[in-house]
Amino acid sequence: MNFTDMLLDAERQNRSLLCVGLDPDPARFPHHMRNDPDRIYEFCAAIVDATADLAIAFKPQIAYFAAHRAEDQLERLMAHIRVAAPHVPVILDAKRGDIGSTAEQYAKEAFERYGADAVTLSPFMGFDSVQPYLRYPGKGVFLLCRTSNPGGDDFQNQRLADVPGQPKLYEHIARLAQGPWNVSGQVGLVVGATYPAEIARVRELAPTVPLLIPGVGAQGGDAQATVQAGWRGGAGGTTAAVAVNSSRAILYAGAGADFAQAARQEAERTRETLWRARLFD
């Protein structure tokens, strides 16, 4: 099963649009684990076990592991997810973007070392920096398009004078993902929940690619507005999945020994909010 099919299958099985972000910060761990980076795997595995039936995807952020020399724990975690939640795809949040020969190594890291089902990429260096990832059959890539941070306006919202119609940069990226760059059929886009109008515009330009939408929860994005802007359904179900990410609000919902149960409760609440938001006219 390729990545986009895995997303849709997880959506159906778990009745979910919720992507659970795995951004382990030992300084925010429960009291009995706090400030102990050797327990990153233990913490994240507990979150995975508590939310495996609630998620459309898991999204580990590689920097939170690498900063603590915990890449081996990330490898263990990826292997654990494949056993504990084999129907839930894993998106490695790495935001890579480099020349072709280096991109080949980053692709090998994501798909061979860690066994990710998809990876986030920066498209700034052009198609040849993305192409090595597309050579992996069935693997997905998410291109940064309209990100949730305020600084995204510095480039993404600027118009391209030399492109017909003078689209904004994020609009141009959306068109590329829907069209000539999507040679594998597994290209998606990252669009921030803090900009629902732009989500709607991206969905208009790229109606058949999956969207990864961070920014719900701690970043303040509105869950209902996000889904209504990006999700499309019908008699035959969705034609492209929407994975709405929440990280810190779920991971750090509790600070005691019952942290995993607290995370589950927050994930259930968010999942239900997102799922109900599909029912609009």
108 as an active site residue: the answer is no
Please name the residue that has the structure tokens 């508590």.
50
Please write down the long-range contacts of 68-72, taking CB distance under 8 Å and 24 or more positions apart.
Answer: 68/26, 68/37, 68/40, 69/37, 70/24, 70/37, 70/40, 70/41
Q: Which listed residue (95, 108, 139, 168) is catalytic?
A: 95
Q: Tell me how crowded residue 188 is: count the other CB atoms within 10 A of its CB.
A: 27
Element (H, E) at 84: helix 71-84
Q: Tell me how crowded residue 254 is: count the other CB atoms within 10 A of its CB.
A: 16
9-22 CB burial, b ≥16 within 10 A, e <16: bbbeebebbbbbbb
Rounded distance, CA 221 to CA 246, Å?
Answer: 10
Tokens (6 digits) for 280: 């609009």
Judge whether 88 and 10 are in contact, CB under 8 Å: yes
Element (H, E) at 55: none
**Nearest alpha carbon to residue 51 among 82, 76, 18:** 18
Strand partners for 146: 191
Q: How big is the CA angle at 104 (ends 91 and 89), to the nearest 5 degrees?
A: 15
Active site residues: 95
